[in-house]
Structure 1
Amino acid sequence: MRHVLVFAKTPYAKTPYDQWLAGSGIVPVIVTATEYAAGYAHLPHVHAFDAYDTNQLVEKTALRLAREFAVEAVFARAEADVVRAAQLRELLGLPGQHTASALAFRDKVVMKDHLAGGPVDVPAYRRIDSAYTALDFVAEHGYPVVIKPVSESGSLGAAIIRDEAELDAYLAGPWRGSSEIEAFVPGQMYHVDGLVAGGEVVFVHPFRYLNDCLSFRDNDWVANLPLAPHDPSYDRLVKAARAVLAELPTPPQTAFHSEFWITPDDRLVFCEIASRTGGGMISAMVRHAFGIDLDKEWLYAECGLPSTLGTPAYRPAGALCIPPQNGVLEELPQAGGEPGCVREVMLTGAAGQEFHGGVKSGLFLAGYVVDGDTEEDVAANLERVAGWFSDNTRWRPADFSGGNA
C-alpha cells in the first residue's frame, strides 16, 4: 500500500481525499485542524490539532507519520501549510515544492524581489522593519500606501493608508511583525488561477472581482466572475500570469492563484501570487464553469497519477462570498429557497452564533456558485443572490437580551 501525507485544513466535503484516490492504491494520511476532524473520522489515519496554524506539534507529527508510512508525496492546499509542507519534503528528500520556492510564493517581499525589473510591472515596495522604514517610504513615494503582513492570505491585516492621520493611527497600534509597504495601485483587480503539472501550465484562466477582495472590511460581499476569451483583458492577464510563473521558482506541480490590477491609465500591475488554489468559492466556481476540480488534479499531479483534466468546456458561472455582520445571527435563509440560478451553497455558520464582521476575504458566512446564460447574466445573478441573502437573514446586537450566543 502506498501513502501520501495530506495537510488537510479544509472540510471533508470540499476535499474528499479518499474518494479522489479511490482505486489508485494510495492511502491518504491526514493531518488536520480540530474543527475539520469529524469529517475525516471514517479514514484510517487522521490526526487533528487545536490552534492548527501555529501548533508546532503539527510538524512533529507530520514528520513521524511521513517516516512511519514511508510517504511518497506531501500534499498541502492551504496557505498556512505551504512552507511547513515544503520544509518536510526537503527534509525527507521528497519531490515537489521545496522551501525556497514556498517562500517565494508566500513572502510578498521575496516574491517581488524575484519579479522586480522583469516583464510585469511591480509597484514600489519595501520590507518594514520599523516605523522609520514606513516613514522613509512615504517621504519618497507619498500617499496613499498599503501596509500588509508579508505572509498572510485573504487580504488579512492589509491597511490602506491615505494620509498622515491614518499613518499615525496605524503606528499607534501594536507592532504586527514582518510587514511590507507598497505604493497604492488604483484600478480594477483581477485574478488568474490555474494549474502547473509536469512543469507546464496545463490550465489557466483570468477572472474579475465584483466589489473587491477588501470588501469584507465593510462586511460587504465579494464575487468572482470568469472573463470570456474575447474580453480585451483576457490575453494580457494570461500572458502576465505565465510571465510571473516563469520568473519565480515555480514547482513542477502546483495550483496557483495570482492577482493583478489594470489601472485607469491601462497599466497591468502585479499584486501577488500564491502556490495554491484560490480561497472562498473559487475552486467550486472553476468546477462548475470548466468541469475541472483544481484541487483533485493538483493532488493527482503530486502523486504521479494520470490527469483527468481533458478539454475544459466553459459555461458561465460566478462565485459569491458573503461575510458575517457584527452581532448574533438569528436567522439564515431557508435551505432550498435560493434563486434558481444558484448551483452550489456553502454555509459556515448557524443561527445563534455570534460574529464580529468580516475577518478576511477568503472566510465567509455564506458562499454561492451562480450561473447564467452569459457573463452579464451571471454578474446580475450574483447581485440578485446577494440581495436575496440580505433580505432573508436576520441579525441582532450581541448584547441584546443580556448576553452572547
Structure 2
Amino acid sequence: MRHILVFAKTPYAKTPYDQWLAGSGIVPVIVTAREYAQGYSHLPHVHAFDAYDTNQLVEKTALRLAREFAVEAVFARAEADVVRAAQLRALLGLPGQHTASALAFRDKVVMKDHLAGGPVDVPAYRRLDSAYTALDFVAEHGYPVVIKPVSESGSLGAAIIRDEAELDAYLASPWRGTSEIEVFVPGQMYHVDGLVAGGEVVFVHPFRYLNDCLSFRNNDWVANLPLTREDPLYDRLVKAARAVLAELPTPPQTAFHAEFWITPDDRLLFCEIASRTGGGMISAMVRHAFGIDLDKEWLYAECGLPSTLGTSEYRPAGALCIPPRNGVLEQLPTATAEQPGCVREVMLTGSVGQEFHGGVKSGLFLAGYVVDGDSEEDVAANLEHVAGWFSDNSRWRPAESCGGTA
C-alpha cells in the first residue's frame, strides 16, 4: 500500500481525497483543522488540530506520519500550508515544491523581487519593517498607498492609506509584523487560474471580478466571471500569467491563482500570485465551466497519476461569494424561497442562530454559488440576481438583542 500525506484545510465535500484516489493503490494520510475533521472521519488516518494555521504540533505530527507511512508525496492546497508542506518535502527529500519556491509564491516581497524589471510591470513596493520605511516610501511616491501583510491571502489585513491622517491611524494601531507597502493601483482587477503539470502549463484561463476583492469589507458580495476568448484582454492576461510563472521558481506540479490590474490608461500591472487553486467558489466554477477539477488534477500530478484532463465543451458559468453581515443569522433563503434556476452548486458555511461579525477576507463566505447562463452577459446578470435573491430572503438581527452568542 502506498501513502501520501495531505494537509487538508478544506471540508471533505470540497476535497474528497479518498474518492479521487480510489483504485490508485494510494491511501491519503490526513492532517486537518478541527472543524473539518468530522468529514474525514471515515478515513483510516486522520489527525485534527485546533488553531490549525499556527499550531506547530501540525508540523511535528506531519513529520512523524510521513516517516511512519513512508509517504511518497505531500499535498497541500491551502495558503496556510504552502510553506510547511514545502519544508517537509525538503526535509524528507520528497519531490514537489520546496521552500525557496514556496516563499516566492507566498511572500509578496520575495515574489516581486523575482519579477521586478521583468516582462510584466510591477508597482513600486518595499518591505515594511518599521514606521520609518512607511514615511520614506510615502515621501518618495505620495498617497495613496496600500499596506498589507507579506503572506496573507484573500486581501486579509490590507489597508488603503489615502492621506497622512490615515497613515497616523495605521501607525498608532498595534504592530502587525512584517508587511509590504506599495503604490495604490487604480483600475479593474482580473485573475488568471490554471494548472502546471510536468513543468508545462496544461490549463490557463483569465477571469474578471464583479465588485472587487475588498467588497467583503462592506459585507458586499464578490463574483468571478470567465473572459471569452474573443475578449481583447484574454491573450494579454494569459501571456502575463505565463511570463510570471517563467520568472518565478515555479514547481513542476502546481495549481496557480494570479491577479493583475488593468488601469484606466490600459496598462497591465502584476498584483500577486499563489501556488494553489483560487479561493471562494473558483474551483467549483472552473469545474462547471470547463469540466476540469483543478484540485483533483493537481493531486494526480503530485502523485504521478495519469491526468484525466479532457476537452469538454465550455459552458458559461460564474462564481458568487456572499459574506456574512454583522449580527445573528435568523433565516437562510433555502427555507423560504425557491432557488433561482440558474444556480448549479451551493455551499453554505454557516447556520441559522449563528452570530457573525461581517466579512473577514475575500475567500471566506457565508454562501457560495455557481451560476450559469447562455452567455457571459447572461451569467453576469444571473450573479446579480442570485445576490439580490439571497439578500431578500435571508434575515438578520442585531447580536445585542439575542441575549448571547449562538
- Using the size of structure 2 for normalisation, the TM-score is 0.99
1:133-167 deviations in whole A, cap 9, x for unaligned?
00100000000000000000000000001111111
* Residue 337 (structure 1) shift: 4.3
Task: Check whether the contact 2:322–2:365 (CA below 8 A) recurs between aligned residues.
Answer: yes
Q: Deviations over 1:378-404 (max 9, x none)?
A: 000000000000000100000014333
Residues 1:90 and 1:335: Cα distance change in structure 2 (over 3 Å):
farther
Supply the distance in 2 between the matched residues of 1:206 and 1:240 (Cα, whole angstroms). Answer: 10
User: In the aligned structure 1, how far is the partner of 2:404 from the partner of 2:2?
Assistant: 52
- Give the alignment's Cα RMSD to 1 decimal: 0.8
What's the offset of the Cα at 1:345? 0.3
Alpha-carbon displacement from aligned partner over 1:39-64 (angstroms, at most 9, x marks no partner)? 00000000000000000000000000
**Which residue of structure 2 aligns with residue 73 of structure 1?**
73
- The percentage of aligned residue pairs carrying the same residue is 92
Aligned equivalents of 1:50, 1:336: Cα separation in 2: 35
Q: What is the CA-CA distance between 1:334 and the residue it aligns to? A: 1.9
Give the Cα–Cα distance (whole angstroms) in 1 for the partners of residues 154 and 312 of structure 2: 27
Residue 313 of structure 1, CA deviation = 2.2
Aligned counterpart, 1:24: 24
1:336-378: CA deviation from partner (whole Å, max 9, x where unpaired): 9450000000000001000000000000000000000000000
1:385 and 2:386 equivalent?
yes
User: CA 1:192 to 1:401, structure 2 compared with 1: closer, same or farther past 3 Å?
Assistant: closer
**Distance in structure 1 (CA, Å) of the matches to 2:337 and 2:255:** 34
Number of the residue aligned with 1:357: 358
Q: Could you say what secondary structure the match of 2:384 adopts?
A: helix
Equivalent residue, structure 1, for 2:345: 344
Give the Cα–Cα distance (whole angstroms) in 2 for the partners of residues 58 and 71 of structure 1: 16
Measured in 1, the distance between the counterparts of 2:176 and 2:217 equals: 18
Q: 3-state SS of the aligned residue for 1:334? A: helix
For 2:240 and 2:227, the matched residues in 1 are separated by 15
Structure 2 unaligned spans of 5+: none
Residue by residue over 1:196-255, the C-alpha shift from the partner in whole angstroms, topping out at 9 and shown as x without a partner, is 000000000000000001100000000000000000100000000000000000000000
Tell me if the contact between 2:336 and 2:393 (Cα under 8 Å) persists in the aligned partners: no
Contact 2:220 2:322 in 1 (8 A): yes
Q: Find the aligned partners of 1:213 and 1:232 in 2 and give their Cα distance.
A: 23
* CA displacement at 1:88 relative to structure 2: 0.2
* Residues 1:298 and 1:403: Cα distance change in structure 2 (over 3 Å): same
The structure 1 segments of at least 4 consecutive aligned residues displaced by more than 4 Å after TM superposition are: 335-338
Gaps of 5+ in 1: none
- Matched residue SS, 2:231: coil
Distance 2:70 2:405 in 1: 48
What is the CA distance between 1:287 and its match in structure 2? 0.2
Alpha-carbon distance, 1:33 to partner: 0.3
Alignment of 1:126-205 (within 5 A): 126-205=126-205
Change (3 A) 1:306 1:337: farther
Matched, 1:402 2:403: yes
For residues 152 and 403 of structure 1, the distance between their equivalents in structure 2, rounded to whole angstroms, comes to 31
CA distance in 2, matches of 1:165, 1:158: 17
Which secondary structure state, in structure 2, belongs to the residue aligned with residue 28 of structure 1? strand
Would the aligned equivalents of 2:337 and 2:393 in 1 still touch at CA under 8 Å?
no
Report the Cα offset of residue 68 of structure 1: 0.5
Q: Distance in 1 between matches of 2:325 and 2:337?
A: 21
Residues 15-37 of structure 1 show CA distances to partners (whole Å, capped at 9, x for unaligned) of: 00000000000000000000000
